């Protein structure tokens, strides 16, 4: 038994003193960056599970060094977190103090293992010098608009009055008191990781991750392709047609050639109603005029209106109105009022004809045309209505509505008296405008089953629930919503539970067949996924099936398959009109195209990944370096709108009204050079407006105005909050219209350079939003074409948003999107601390417990909370939430590269030298969160130009857990934890190292075994006695054994098969003992190979044998291929696949010679019994296989 205690210490001190494991920045040698997850230094100290990964990568690090690489293998501490905080709550000791102690313990323990870490780069996430940069990086997210505050659910223990982390609320039970945990909404900081969802998936192709890790990442992000489909909402007609006389009437329902969202065909005559006569001055006409007048003076163009909506310059402010016009074939721009009236009449007449009806004179529609000079034309004079005879009765066909009317479960509506119907009719007409904007969007991965939809379900949390619920259903719906809110997480996500839900009283119109289907709410719909609404196809979805069964809802088979119901697989479409006969894949495509043509839906990709909840109401974390300033929040921001040549007329008025309502001050200068563009003059006229702008203000430029705005901004050299370019025609036009015109600089590249120059740093614009026309080519600043941009963040910080179906002179949809985008830049009152104020350090507190209302303990320190606004100098309050543990660990690998830099988180040239991490090993438990967060973090820093690689880790592998000898997980509570200290003390560091490698395949879990440790120890003792066997000569067996061992060890290390590496060493040592002698040279070669696993033992023997320097600084031993083979080998001869003979044969014989040898074998002759072999297969140096 060797004296391991003395030897271990001696060599560890020596390595440290000589700095042999220091990584050298910018060395000429090839760099290799190996990384293990930095541990949380718990009070319990190191546990045998920790070193498994450290030792394994240490072996690789040592080998790579011996192979001439410049290796960075660092270690640090992920020291923020709950266990320390809970300990502090219990004992009242400051977490910083406890952390320092724990780190000291951990470090001593880790250092006792002889790991070749470069301790000069040690980092500690709780060190203000470290978290200064965590905070600084958080501010980059904030400044890019990627960090935002939003309501989010937290686990709340009502008894302890404290918010719990997910791991403290497992199974819906509070870890502290054992009571049930509730969900509670709280404003939390969120980080927009979902914006990177797609890149986080696609970039996986560029890295080498263990397949299961890659798979888990992909599934966590959860991309699904399908369609988003719009269903118009209609209320139950019962509300409109309240019964008074009890009589019944039929409603005729038909989907006229599948017109988009349907036509309402009601039968007032059947209801006992006289068709409504609309005279000038009547309600309908009054409404139309009122609507038109609302826009008077705000546009230079004629305004067309009816009581349902307004249209200016061919842009429909009301999609229903537009649809009607499309239906009737009206183009207001080209038709005169008389012609319009004519068209409408013709349309109704055609309808009448189609359904065998007769036209009847009645005024059904009112239009007005209001001209800029105040002249008004009323277009409603006489339009013929239609009376239709049908098998179901006589019908009066009215103007197409957005609605279909049908009473639950039947085609009946209830008759009412004339006056009430009139009122209802008016109300209904009025409501069209209200309803037309109300569309329920659903996400589906099976658009091919759209014909099978029999109801719609919303998540109870859906925004629309309150708006669409019918009065009669209100109380029931509210009751249900409340019940759901009270449910715990487990209750809600238990899929085996019986489905629950209630009907809202509202209906939705299926765009594909104009059918009205009921809208329900149910908690089986997840609010956070897709749109929070589902189109239910009970015949082809398990969940919808259960729900429909329970509530007696219709099921409709639209995919032919097995006889099982529900049939959820793919098949052939049936009962689906234009999809019939298509396979599921084909039907999906066809349906999506159809939806896109009809503008009723679109191809859509949805992700499971949610934004990252970044707030913790805790003490022991990085303080979030933001203050809230009421004064800054209240400050009016200016929005400067720079027009193109022509004014955008009516849109201005709408945009202005909406922005002003949101509290912005709007500037819309009219240029004198509108019709004869003169760039310099334009700049001159714009200058005073830009002069007024401050850093909170926003500039919008439309078309050429975008380029003018950008140029004016550059000239004014102003810092503003955001520049939004609306349809700037980036592709053809980016160098500015002016340059193109002068033919000076027509190429895209130069154009883009120009554009990016102003977008980028001089005006400090993180945010340039581009709203592009549908067919416009959009280029990003690296001169690559941006594929199908839509709400994406691109490298310079541009948000590009493509508006489909809009022309260059943006329509109302464009206004809507722009108002949304501008709203994003509205001051929230959250102001970031200047870099000079970082780090914002944790103040000392007395109590570490969260406050009664769930705020962090920081909230109870007035000196911390109350501060001044760094922006306006007024009174402000600090954010008291702290960051999650994942923050510091999202970038620690960057800090190792330049651990002591106090100017930046790491110097660019050093990052460029060391990144990416060549090999990153960690536990499977970190595959989803940590790995995803840090990849995202790195990507964002890459986008800002701070790190050199898109992906932080070139390769990721993981190790299995070390289990206790009883087969359970090691845990304090089970009392089965093995402490590495004890092993190191009693059997030496090398024993622990070698055993952890030998225990089993690195990636698999393995049970700890005391006996196994003893076996490894025995092996090392045998190694220590090898010098006794040193002789002048050795047998050939030993020499060949040495080379075989080297070949296999080298190969096994490359594939991280550490357990077999140790076995190879053992085999070799057994060979030496068997032979009884080894030369000094061979032993020294062996020690060089062994060093990576057993560094202490090998250094000691190396010194004993008088080798030069340190073994760990020798080169990795080479082997001679010819010596890895034995001189003779046992030729295996198989007959019909069974081994029949083994013949000692010299290595290297030819195939023919082997064949002859095999056939000559007596045993083989016996088995052949004179038969002629059918086939003979020869494998050199292995076997001969004979088939008869």
Partner RNA sequence: GCCGCGGUGGUGGAAUGGUAUACACAAGGGACUUAAAAUCCCUCGUCGAAAGGCUUGCGGGUUCGAGUCCCGCCCGCGGCACCA
Which 602-641 residues touch RNA, going by CB under 7 A? Answer: 606, 608
Q: How many residues does the chain have?
A: 1188
**What is the C-alpha separation between 304 and 286, in angstroms, rounded?**
14
Q: Of 614-622, 632-640, 662-670, 1003-1011, which part binds RNA (CB under 7 A)? A: 1003-1011
Q: Which of 1132, 1149, 1159, 1168 binds RNA (CB under 7 A)?
A: 1132
Q: Is 502 in the site for RNA (CB under 7 A)?
A: no
Q: Which is nearer to RNA, 552 or 967 (CB)?
A: 967
Q: Is 350 in the site for RNA (CB under 7 A)?
A: no
Q: Which of 714, 1073, 1075, 1159 binds RNA (CB under 7 A)?
A: 1073
**What is the C-alpha separation between 33 and 920, in angstroms, rounded?**
9
Say how many C-beta atoms besides its own lie within 10 A of residue 1166's C-beta.
Answer: 11
Site for RNA in 730-789 (CB under 7 A): none
State whether residue 1093 is helix, strand or coil: coil
Q: Which of 745, 1059, 1079, 1124 binds RNA (CB under 7 A)?
A: 1059
Q: Which is nearer to RNA, 37 or 773 (CB)?
A: 37
Q: Which of 325, 801, 1060, 1145 binds RNA (CB under 7 A)?
A: 1060
Q: Which of 118, 448, 523, 1100 binds RNA (CB under 7 A)?
A: 523
8 A C-beta contact, residue 891 and residue 937: yes
Q: Which of 111, 170, 194, 224 binds RNA (CB under 7 A)?
A: 224
Q: Which of 316, 1057, 1082, 1161 binds RNA (CB under 7 A)?
A: 1057
Kind plus residue range of the DSSP H or E element containing 595: helix 584-597
Shortest CB 176 distance to RNA, Å: 23
State whether residue 317 is helix, strand or coil: coil
Q: Of 352-360, 775-783, 798-806, 1173-1181, which part binds RNA (CB under 7 A)? A: 1173-1181
Q: Which of 106, 141, 189, 524 binds RNA (CB under 7 A)?
A: 524
**What is the C-alpha separation between 59 and 996, in angstroms, rounded?**
12
Q: Which is nearer to RNA, 532 or 870 (CB)?
A: 532
Q: Which two structure tokens, joined as six digits, stand for 875?
A: 């009174």
What x/- string results for residues 480 through 499 when contact with RNA is judged by CB under 7 A? ------------xxxx-x-x
Sort strands 798-802 and 358-361 into parallel, antiparallel or unpaired: unpaired
Q: Which of 955, 1005, 1031, 1123 binds RNA (CB under 7 A)?
A: 1005
Q: Which of 340, 525, 626, 1045 binds RNA (CB under 7 A)?
A: 525
Q: Which two structure tokens, joined as six digits, stand for 398?
A: 């009215």
Site for RNA in 666-685 (CB under 7 A): none
Q: Of 335-343, 633-641, 716-724, 1171-1179, which part binds RNA (CB under 7 A)? A: 1171-1179
Q: Of 3-11, 199-207, 551-559, 1068-1076, which part binds RNA (CB under 7 A)? A: 1068-1076
Q: Is 104 in the site for RNA (CB under 7 A)?
A: no
Q: Which of 212, 466, 741, 785 binds RNA (CB under 7 A)?
A: 212
Shortest CB 1060 distance to RNA, Å: 5
Q: Which of 13, 101, 219, 982 binds RNA (CB under 7 A)?
A: 219
Shortest CB 485 distance to RNA, Å: 14
Q: Is 1021 in the site for RNA (CB under 7 A)?
A: yes
Q: Is 809 in the site for RNA (CB under 7 A)?
A: no
Q: Which of 333, 972, 1018, 1156 binds RNA (CB under 7 A)?
A: 1018
**What is the C-alpha separation between 115 and 989, in angstroms, rounded?**
10
Q: Which is nearer to RNA, 470 or 928 (CB)?
A: 928
Q: Which is nearer to RNA, 510 or 806 (CB)?
A: 510
**What is the C-alpha separation between 261 and 401, in angstroms, rounded?**
9
Q: Which two structure tokens, joined as six digits, stand for 801?
A: 């948003």
Site for RNA in 64-93 (CB under 7 A): none
What x/- string results for residues 446 through 475 when contact with RNA is judged by CB under 7 A? x------------x----------------
Q: Is 1171 in the site for RNA (CB under 7 A)?
A: no
Mention every residue, 6+ apart, whose C-beta is less than 8 A from residue 617. Answer: 154, 163, 186, 850, 854, 855, 856, 880, 881, 882
Q: Is 215 in the site for RNA (CB under 7 A)?
A: yes
Sort strands 768-772 and 722-726 into parallel, antiparallel or unpaired: parallel
Q: Which two structure tokens, joined as six digits, stand for 1045?
A: 């061992």
Q: Which is nearer to RNA, 366 or 1093 (CB)?
A: 1093
**What is the C-alpha separation between 417 and 244, in angstroms, rounded?**
7
Shortest CB 166 distance to RNA, Å: 10
Q: Is 1070 in the site for RNA (CB under 7 A)?
A: yes
Q: Is 575 in the site for RNA (CB under 7 A)?
A: no
8 A C-beta contact, residue 831 and residue 871: yes
Q: Which of 999, 1038, 1143, 1164 binds RNA (CB under 7 A)?
A: 999
Site for RNA in 526-545 (CB under 7 A): 526, 529-530, 532, 534, 537, 541, 543
Mention every residue, 6+ apart, whose C-beta is less than 8 A from residue 800. Answer: 769, 770, 772, 778, 780, 786, 789, 790, 791, 792, 794
Q: Which of 928, 979, 1035, 1124 binds RNA (CB under 7 A)?
A: 928
Q: Which is nearer to RNA, 258 or 1025 (CB)?
A: 1025
Q: Of 522-530, 770-778, 826-834, 857-865, which part binds RNA (CB under 7 A)? A: 522-530
Q: Is 264 in the site for RNA (CB under 7 A)?
A: no
Q: Which is nearer to RNA, 743 or 1011 (CB)?
A: 1011
8 A C-beta contact, residue 723 and residue 732: no
Sort strands 455-458 and 515-521 into parallel, antiparallel or unpaired: parallel
Q: Which of 74, 114, 192, 226 binds RNA (CB under 7 A)?
A: 226
Binding residues for RNA, total number by CB under 7 A: 81
Site for RNA in 416-445 (CB under 7 A): 443-445
**What is the C-alpha separation between 224 and 222, in angstroms, rounded?**
6
Kind plus residue range of the DSSP H or E element containing 940: helix 929-943
Q: Of 286-294, 409-417, 756-764, 1135-1143, which part binds RNA (CB under 7 A)? A: 1135-1143
Q: Is 1029 in the site for RNA (CB under 7 A)?
A: no
Q: Is 1128 in the site for RNA (CB under 7 A)?
A: no
Residue 504 pairs in a beta bridge with none
Q: Which two structure tokens, joined as six digits, stand for 814?
A: 């464009």
Q: Give the Å distances, CA to CA, from 434 to 817, 853, 861, 1082.
A: 19, 40, 49, 90
Q: Is 1177 in the site for RNA (CB under 7 A)?
A: yes
Q: Is 1038 in the site for RNA (CB under 7 A)?
A: no
Q: Is 1134 in the site for RNA (CB under 7 A)?
A: yes
Number of H helices, E strands in the chain: 39, 47
Torsion on CA atoms 592, 594, 596, 601, rounded to nearest 10? -70
Shortest CB 807 distance to RNA, Å: 33
Instruction: Write the DSSP symbol of residue 915.
Output: P
Q: Is 1004 in the site for RNA (CB under 7 A)?
A: yes
**What is the C-alpha separation between 527 and 187, in angstroms, rounded?**
17
Characterise 152 by phi-psi region: left (phi > 0), alpha (psi -120 to 50), beta (else).
Answer: beta
Mention every residue, 6+ apart, whose C-beta is less than 8 A from residue 519. Answer: 233, 440, 455, 456, 457, 458, 468, 503, 504, 506, 507, 508
**What is the C-alpha separation between 671 and 663, in angstroms, rounded?**
25
472-477 own/partner pairs: CB under 8 Å, 24+ apart: 472/236, 472/238, 472/239, 472/505, 473/502, 473/503, 473/504, 473/505, 476/502, 477/502, 477/504, 477/521
Shortest CB 64 distance to RNA, Å: 22
């Amino acid at each position: 038994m060797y004296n391991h205690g003395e030897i271990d210490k001696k060599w560890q001190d020596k390595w440290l003193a000589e700095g042999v494991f220091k990584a050298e920045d910018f060395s000429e040698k090839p760099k290799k960056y190996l990384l293990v997850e930095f541990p949380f230094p718990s009070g319990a100290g190191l546990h045998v599970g920790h070193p498994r990964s450290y030792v394994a990568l240490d072996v690789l690090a040592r080998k790579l060094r011996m192979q001439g690489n410049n290796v960075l293998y660092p270690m640090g501490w992920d020291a923020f977190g709950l266990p320390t905080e809970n300990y502090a709550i219990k004992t009242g000791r400051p977490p910083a103090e406890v952390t320092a102690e724990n780190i000291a313990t951990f470090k001593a323990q880790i250092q006792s293992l002889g790991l070749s870490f470069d301790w000069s780069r040690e980092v500690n996430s709780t060190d203000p010098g470290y978290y200064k940069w965590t905070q600084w990086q958080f501010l980059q997210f904030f400044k890019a608009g990627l960090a935002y505050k939003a309501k989010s659910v937290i686990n709340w223990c009502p008894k302890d009055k404290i918010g719990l982390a997910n791991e403290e609320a497992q199974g819906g039970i509070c870890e502290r008191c054992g009571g049930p945990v509730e969900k509670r909404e709280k404003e939390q900081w969120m980080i927009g990781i979902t914006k990177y969802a797609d890149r986080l998936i696609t970039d996986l192709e560029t890295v080498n991750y263990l397949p299961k890790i890659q798979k888990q990442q992909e599934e966590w992000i959860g991309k699904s392709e399908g369609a988003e489909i719009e269903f118009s909402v209609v209320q139950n007609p019962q509300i409109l047609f309240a019964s008074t006389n009890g009589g019944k009437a039929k409603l005729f329902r038909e989907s006229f050639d599948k017109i988009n969202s349907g036509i309402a065909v009601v039968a007032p005559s059947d209801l006992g109603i006289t068709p409504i006569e609309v005279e000038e001055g009547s309600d309908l006409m009054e409404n139309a005029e009122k609507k038109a007048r609302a826009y008077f003076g705000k546009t230079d163009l004629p305004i067309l209106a009816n009581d349902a909506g307004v249209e200016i310059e061919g842009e429909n402010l009301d999609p229903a109105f537009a649809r009607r016009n499309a239906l009737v074939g009206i183009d207001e721009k080209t038709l005169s009022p008389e012609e319009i009236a004519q068209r409408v009449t013709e349309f109704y007449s055609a309808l009448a004809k189609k359904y065998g009806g007769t036209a009847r004179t009645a005024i059904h529609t009112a239009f007005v045309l209001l001209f800029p000079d105040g002249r008004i034309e009323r277009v409603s004079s006489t339009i013929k209505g239609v009376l239709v005879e049908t098998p179901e009765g006589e019908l009066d066909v009215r103007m197409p509505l957005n609605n279909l009317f049908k009473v639950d479960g039947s085609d009946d509506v209830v008759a009412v008296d004339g006056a009430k119907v009139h009122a209802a009719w008016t109300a209904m007409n009025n409501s069209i405008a209200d309803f037309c904007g109300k569309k329920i969007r659903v996400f589906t991965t099976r658009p091919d089953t759209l014909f099978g939809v029999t109801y719609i379900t919303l998540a109870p949390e859906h925004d629309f629930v309150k708006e669409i619920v019918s009065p009669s259903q209100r109380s029931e719906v509210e009751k249900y919503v409340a019940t759901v809110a009270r449910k715990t997480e487990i209750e809600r996500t238990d899929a085996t539970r019986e489905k629950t839900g209630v009907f809202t009283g509202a209906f939705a119109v299926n765009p594909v067949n104009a059918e009205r289907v009921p809208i329900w709410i149910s908690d089986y719909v997840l609010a956070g996924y897709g749109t929070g609404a589902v189109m239910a196809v009970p015949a082809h979805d398990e969940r919808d099936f259960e729900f429909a069964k329970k509530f007696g809802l219709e099921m409709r088979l639209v995919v032919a398959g097995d006889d099982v119901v529900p049939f959820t697989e793919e098949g052939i479409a049936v009962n689906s009109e234009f999809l019939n006969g298509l396979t599921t894949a084909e039907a999906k495509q066809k349906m999506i195209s159809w939806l896109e043509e009809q503008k009723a839906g679109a191809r859509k990709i949805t992700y499971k990944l949610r934004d990252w909840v970044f707030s913790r109401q805790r003490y022991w974390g990085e303080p979030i370096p933001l203050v809230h300033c009421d004064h800054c929040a209240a400050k009016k921001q200016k929005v400067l709108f720079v027009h193109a040549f022509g004014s955008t007329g009516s849109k201005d008025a709408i945009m202005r009204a909406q922005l002003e309502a949101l509290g912005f001050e709007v500037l819309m200068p009219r240029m004198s050079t509108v019709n004869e563009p003169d760039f310099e003059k334009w700049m001159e006229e714009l200058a005073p407006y830009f002069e007024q702008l401050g850093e909170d203000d926003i500039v919008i430029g439309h078309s050429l105005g975008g380029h003018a705005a950008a140029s004016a901004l550059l000239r004014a050299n102003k810092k503003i909050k955001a520049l939004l370019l609306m349809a700037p025609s980036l592709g053809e036009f980016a160098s500015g219209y002016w340059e193109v015109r002068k033919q000076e600089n027509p190429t895209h590249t130069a154009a883009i350079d120009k554009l990016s120059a102003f977008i980028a740093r001089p005006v400090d614009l993180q945010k340039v939003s581009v709203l592009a026309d549908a067919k416009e080519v959009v280029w990003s600043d690296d001169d690559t074409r941006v594929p199908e941009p839509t709400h994406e963040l691109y490298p310079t910080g541009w948000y590009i948003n493509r508006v489909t179906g809009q022309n260059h002179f943006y329509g109302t949809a464009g206004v809507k999107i722009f108002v949304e985008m501008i709203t994003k830049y509205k001051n929230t009152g959250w102001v970031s601390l200047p870099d000079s104020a970082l780090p914002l350090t944790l103040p000392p507190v007395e109590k570490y417990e969260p406050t009664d209302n769930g705020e962090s303990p920081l909230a109870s320190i007035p000196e911390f909370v109350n501060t001044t606004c760094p922006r306006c100098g007024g009174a402000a309050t600090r954010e008291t939430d702290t960051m999650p543990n994942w923050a510091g660990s999202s970038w620690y690998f960057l800090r190792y590269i330049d651990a002591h830099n106090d100017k930046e988180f790491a110097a660019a040239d050093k990052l460029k030298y060391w990144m990416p991490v060549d090999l990153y090993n960690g536990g499977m438990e970190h595959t989803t969160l940590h790995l995803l967060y840090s990849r995202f973090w790195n990507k964002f820093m890459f986008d800002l130009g701070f790190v050199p690689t898109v992906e932080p880790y070139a390769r990721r592998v993981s190790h299995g857990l070390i289990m206790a000898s009883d087969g359970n997980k090691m845990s304090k509570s089970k009392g089965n934890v093995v402490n590495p200290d004890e092993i190191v003390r009693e059997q030496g560091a090398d024993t622990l190292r070698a055993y952890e490698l030998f225990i089993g395949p690195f990636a698999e879990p393995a049970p700890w075994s005391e006996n196994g440790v003893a076996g490894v120890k025995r092996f090392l003792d045998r190694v220590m006695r090898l010098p006794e066997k040193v002789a002048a000569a050795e047998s050939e067996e030993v020499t060949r054994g040495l080379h075989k061992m080297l070949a296999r060890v080298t190969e096994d290390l490359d594939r991280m098969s550490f357990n077999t590496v140790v076995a190879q060493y053992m085999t070799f040592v057994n060979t030496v003992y068997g032979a009884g002698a080894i030369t000094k040279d061979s032993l020294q070669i062996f020690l060089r190979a062994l060093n990576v696993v057993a560094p202490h033992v090998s250094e000691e023997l190396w010194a004993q044998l008088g080798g030069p320097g340190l073994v760990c600084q020798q080169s990795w031993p080479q082997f001679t291929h010819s010596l890895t083979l034995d001189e003779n080998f046992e030729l295996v001869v198989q007959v019909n696949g069974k081994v029949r003979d083994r013949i000692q044969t010299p290595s290297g014989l030819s195939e023919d010679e082997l064949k002859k040898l095999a056939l000559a074998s007596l045993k083989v002759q016996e088995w052949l019994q004179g038969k002629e072999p059918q086939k003979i297969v020869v494998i050199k140096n292995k076997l001969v296989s004979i088939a008869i």
